[in-house]
Amino acid sequence: MTKIEQAFRLFDTYNQQDPSRIIWNGDQYPSEYFYAIQLYEWVNKLNPEASEPLLLASRCQHIGRWEIDRKTYPDGRVGYLTWKNDLAHFHARKATELLQSIGYDADIIARVNEIVLKKRLKTDAEVQTMEDALCLVFLSFQYDDLIKKHTEEKMIGILQKTWAKMSEAGRQVALSLTYSDAGKMLLNKALQGED
What HEC string does the chain produce? CCHHHHHHHHHHHHHCCCCCEEEECCEEEEHHHHHHHHHHHHHHHHCCCCCHHHHHHHHHCCCCHHHCCHHHCCCCHHHHHHHHHHHHHHHHHHHHHHHHHCCCCHHHHHHHHHHHCCCCCCCCHHHHHHHHHHHHHHHHHHHHHHHHHCCHHHHHHHHHHHHHHCCHHHHHHHHHCCCCHHHHHHHHHHHCCCC
Task: Give pLDDT tens digits for 173-193.
Answer: 999 999 999 899 999 989 985
Q: How many CB atoms lie within 10 A of CB 123?
A: 8
* Average pLDDT rounded to a whole number, residues 128-154: 91
β partners of residue 27: 24
| DSSP-derived pairing of the beta strands 21-24 and 27-30 | antiparallel
Looking at residue 77, its pLDDT comes to: 87
Q: Which of 38-42, 154-158, 176-180 has the highest mean pLDDT?
A: 38-42
Q: Name the residue with higher pLDDT: 195 or 151.
A: 151
Looking at residue 195, its pLDDT comes to: 45
Share of the chain above pLDDT 90, in %: 77
Is the Cβ–Cβ distance between 7 and 94 less than 8 Å? no
Task: Give pLDDT tens digits for 102-128.
Answer: 999 999 999 999 999 999 888 899 999
Looking at residue 150, its pLDDT comes to: 87
